[in-house]
Structure 1
Amino acid sequence: MRCPYCGNPDTRVIDSRPAEDKSSIRRRRSCDECGRRFTTYEKVETIPLIVIKKDNNREQYQRSKIEKGILSACYKRPVPAEDIQKTIDAVELEIFNREEKEIPSSVIGEIVMEKLEDLDPVAYVRFASVYREFKDVNTFMDELKKFLQ
Structure 2
Amino acid sequence: MSDAKAAIRFFRAHANDYRIDPDRIALIGASAGAITALHVTYLRESELEGDSGNSGYSSNLTACIDLWGGLYDNVAEIDPGEPPVLIIHSTEDRVVPYSEVKNISKRCKEVGVYCSLHPLEGAGHAPWDRHKEFLPWILDFLYRYCARKE
Q: Provide TM-score, normalisation by structure 2.
A: 0.22
Looking at secondary structure, tell me which structure has more strand per residue.
Answer: 1
Q: Provide TM-score, normalisation by structure 1.
A: 0.22
Q: Work out which of the two has the higher radius of gyration on C-alpha atoms and give 1 or 2.
A: 1
